[in-house]
């Protein structure tokens, strides 16, 4: 872990008042390192920049809306040099989210967004044998595969009959990107407002491959356009929210609202602090109505300010992540953005003491690696435990809480279908119990999942065609998939009850009202009886796993379902 020298506040203040040439407070030179610096509220902009420069930092990017800057420095004592500053609130390594691949990238290794531990795919190489039932009247061709939409009444005979959303309602997808050219996303994709707030990372500080060489990228660059997804996560999320009704593939919960790609995550599934803050402030400034955040801001799954297992420097870093993220959440909330986040896939109760051995999960300095530490309920995972954020747990086909979904009475606000491959009578894995969503064709080709004639050669990929236009879909499960379904319902609420947005156009509705309607229209769902529910999974390798989760609370509000399972039909009626 990091070891830094301590520089007194008095010395730092003196340094901040002298010229940059006089203020080289270096402990030692090291490789260029990026930090996120949080300014104190109300601090003079010139004073903050002088303090950063005096500590050996160079300004790369500044978000004046919330007082956050990205800094590059070769000073290994940079964070210590700013400790105790009158104008600096805190410093954190500009690190990203996810586990670091130790071998060449693969489909499983690169997915470390919040659903990573729960995503399971069918074995590759098997023929695609899925058969489709006859869709109902007015339903999309693959509607019979969308058990999740039936669970929340987001169907042709349900909510879509009354309200399909308003194109002026903007939904921001903070994720790995969105394939804006996908035929089942393109009609609702807002290219003009979409932005990319991050760049891919070739390797981490330990030399382990993260996103790989820039020249190996499809566009030969680490700076992706704002209409591509070189993972599949963001596209699947966008599809759940707003795939249009166009006689092709699937329909989203709100098939007429607009999708805005706010890319904050790497291809590998890492999500930086600074891009998340930038995307949230952008959403607040540009009239975005609802955002989906199916990830957590790392390198720390849980941020603790006083954990004895952490070094003082790491405690300070985690405190900075909490404060900086909350500032951005507050900024967006004040400007009319409804904030919705996945609850997580650790299968743990966030309101109880637990053990985390995954953090820090990205090496920003050589030798850094995760270690085990006890996590009390006072530690927080961001953004899902941030103020103003609606946290969503996942349900399976039978409406049970998904085996992987995190939970907790007072943590979960609502539930939504995110899949559960083992939610079957015999507890064997069934791909159809995951959720189906749009999948970039380029990824299917890159991963060798298509035959020469374009048909899938794996069971987890489905193709649907309308004339000469074909689109691809894949099965995923996780709270990452539950959250966008709740987001879709929230977008319908803004469409149904919102007022004209006189500043940005379209519609707007107070996040407090959206949250109230979302919760009051949810289907009240009681804890299991008995409340200690044991999950049994018969894994493909022949082993059996059991795990018991205890639900606390009552029918109106409990740790598995919060206020209930969201309901699109009741929300718009």
Instruction: State pLDDT tens for residues 399-438.
Output: 999 999 999 999 999 999 999 999 999 999 999 999 999 9
Q: For residue range 183-236, list pLDDT tens digits in order.
A: 999 999 999 999 999 988 888 878 888 888 888 877 778 888 999 999 999 999
Give yes or no for a cis peptide into 193 (omega within 30° of 0). no
Q: What are phi and psi of 547, to 5 degrees?
A: -155, 135
Angstrom CA distances, 488 to 145, 166, 276, 437, stand at 18, 12, 21, 14
Q: Do the Cβ atoms of 86 and 320 come closer than 8 Å?
A: no
Cis peptide before 104 (omega within 30 of 0): no
Predicted confidence at residue 206, as pLDDT, reads: 81
State the Rg of the chain over Cα. 23
CATH 3.30.70.80 residue ranges for the chain: 9-93
Q: Is the pLDDT of residue 14 over 60?
A: no
Confidence label for 40 from pLDDT (cuts 50, 70 and 90)? very high
CB 457 within 8 A of CB 90: no
Q: What percent of the chain has pLDDT over 90?
A: 77
**pLDDT at 561 exceeding the cut of 70:** yes
Task: Give per-residue pLDDT as tens, 73-119.
Answer: 999 899 999 998 999 999 998 854 222 223 323 332 333 433 443 34
Using DSSP's 3-state secondary structure scheme, residue 281 falls into: helix
Model pLDDT for residues 240-253, shown as the tens digit of each residue: 999 999 999 999 99
Strands 507-508 and 499-500 turn out to be: antiparallel
What class is the 9-93 domain?
A: alpha beta
Peptide bond into 231 cis (omega under 30): no
Q: Average pLDDT over the chain, rounded to whole?
A: 88
**Which pLDDT value is given to residue 330?**
98
> Cα 286 to chain center, whole Å?
20
CB-based contacts of 237: which residues, under 8 Å, 6+ apart? 173, 175, 178, 292, 294, 437, 480, 481, 483, 484
User: So what's the pLDDT on residue 132?
Assistant: 46
Q: Grade residue 501 by pLDDT with cuts at 50, 70 and 90.
A: very high
Distance CA 482, CA 343 (A): 9
Q: 157 by DSSP, 3-state: which?
A: coil
**Mean pLDDT, residues 300-306 taken together:** 96
272 pLDDT band, cuts 50/70/90, is: confident
- pLDDT (average), residues 492-501: 97
Mean pLDDT of 33-47: 93
pLDDT on residue 27: 55
Res 135: pLDDT: 62
So what's the pLDDT on residue 131? Answer: 41
Question: For residue 340, is pLDDT > 50?
Answer: yes
Q: Could you tell me the fold of the domain covering 148-204+218-264+281-288+332-341+389-572? A: Rossmann fold (3.40.50)
Place of tokens 């022949």: 542
Q: Please state, in angstroms and rounded to a whole number, the distance separating the CA atoms of residues 360 and 387.
A: 23
pLDDT reading at 357 higher than 50? yes
Residues 224 and 177: beta-carbon distance below 8 Å: yes
**Between the CA atoms of 37, 40, 44 and 45, what dihedral angle is there, to the nearest 10 degrees?**
20
Is residue 293 over pLDDT 50? yes
Weakest-pLDDT range from 57-71, 108-122, 533-547: 108-122
Instruction: Classify 16 as helix, strand or coil.
Output: helix
Domain with CATH 3.40.50.200 in the chain: 148-204+218-264+281-288+332-341+389-572
- Three-state secondary structure readout of 251-277: CCCCCCCEEEEEECECCCCCECHHHHH
Distance separating alpha carbons of residues 254 and 240, to the nearest angstrom:
8
Per the omega criterion (within 30 degrees of 0), is the bond before 530 cis? yes
Q: How many beta carbons lie within 10 A of that of residue 415, not counting itself?
A: 34
The model's pTM is 0.90
Three-state DSSP at 106 gives: coil
Task: Supply 150's token pair.
Answer: 């039936």
Residue 30 has pLDDT above 90, yes or no: no
């Amino acid at each position: 872990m990091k070891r830094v020298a301590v520089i007194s506040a008095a010395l730092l203040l003196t340094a901040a008042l002298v010229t940059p040439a006089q203020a080289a407070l270096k402990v030692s030179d090291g490789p260029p390192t990026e930090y996120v610096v949080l300014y104190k509220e109300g601090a003079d902009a010139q004073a903050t920049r002088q303090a950063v420069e005096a500590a050996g930092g160079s300004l790369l990017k500044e978000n004046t809306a919330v007082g956050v800057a990205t800094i590059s420095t070769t000073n290994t004592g940079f964070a210590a040099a700013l400790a105790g500053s009158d104008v600096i609130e805190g410093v954190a390594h500009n690190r990203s989210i996810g586990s670091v691949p130790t071998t060449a990238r693969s489909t499983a290794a690169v997915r470390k967004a919040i659903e990573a531990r729960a995503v399971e795919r069918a074995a590759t190489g098997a023929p695609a044998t899925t058969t489709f039932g006859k869709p109902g009247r007015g339903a999309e061709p693959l509607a019979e595969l969308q058990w999740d939409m039936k669970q929340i009444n987001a169907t042709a005979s349900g909510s879509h009959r009354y309200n399909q959303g308003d194109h002026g309602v903007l939904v921001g997808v903070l994720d790995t990107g969105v394939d804006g050219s996908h035929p089942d996303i393109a009609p609702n994709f807002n290219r003009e407002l979409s932005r990319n707030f991050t760049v891919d990372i070739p390797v981490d500080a330990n030399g382990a491959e993260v996103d790989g060489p820039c020249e190996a990228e499809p566009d030969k660059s680490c700076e992706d356009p704002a209409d591509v997804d070189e993972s599949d996560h963001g596209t699947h999320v966008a599809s759940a929210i707003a795939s249009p009704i166009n006689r092709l593939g699937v329909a989203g919960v709100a098939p007429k609202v607009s999708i805005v790609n706010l890319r904050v995550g790497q291809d590998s599934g890492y999500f930086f602090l600074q891009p998340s803050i930038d995307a949230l402030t952008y959403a607040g400034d540009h009239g975005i109505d609802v955002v989906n955040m199916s990830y957590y801001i790392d390198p720390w799954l849980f941020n603790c300010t006083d954990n004895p297992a952490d070094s003082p420097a790491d405690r300070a870093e985690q405190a900075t992540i909490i404060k900086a993220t909350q500032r951005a959440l507050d900024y967006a909330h004040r400007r009319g953005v409804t904030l919705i986040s996945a609850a997580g896939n650790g299968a743990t109760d966030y309101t109880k003491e637990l053990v985390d051995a995954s953090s820090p999960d990205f090496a920003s300095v050589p030798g850094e690696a995760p270690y085990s530490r006890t996590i009390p309920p006072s530690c927080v995972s961001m953004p899902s435990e941030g103020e103003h954020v609606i946290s969503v747990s996942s349900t399976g086909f039978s409406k049970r809480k998904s085996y992987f979904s995190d939970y907790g009475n007072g943590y979960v606000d609502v539930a939504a279908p995110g899949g559960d491959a083992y939610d079957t009578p015999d507890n064997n894995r069934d791909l159809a119990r995951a959720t189906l969503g749009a999948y970039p064709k380029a990824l299917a080709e890159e991963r060798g999942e298509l035959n020469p004639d374009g048909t899938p050669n794996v069971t987890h990929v489905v193709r649907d065609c309308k004339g000469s236009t074909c689109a691809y879909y894949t099965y995923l499960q996780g709270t990452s998939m539950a959250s966008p379904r709740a987001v879709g319902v929230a977008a319908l609420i803004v469409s149904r009850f919102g007022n004209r947005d006189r500043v940005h156009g379209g519609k707007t509705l107070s996040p407090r009202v959206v949250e109230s309607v979302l919760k009051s229209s949810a289907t009240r769902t009681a804890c299991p009886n008995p409340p200690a529910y044991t999950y049994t999974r018969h894994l493909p390798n022949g082993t059996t796993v059991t795990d018991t989760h205890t639900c606390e609370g009552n029918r109106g509000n409990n740790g598995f379902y919060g206020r209930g399972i969201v309901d699109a039909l009741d929300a718009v009626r």
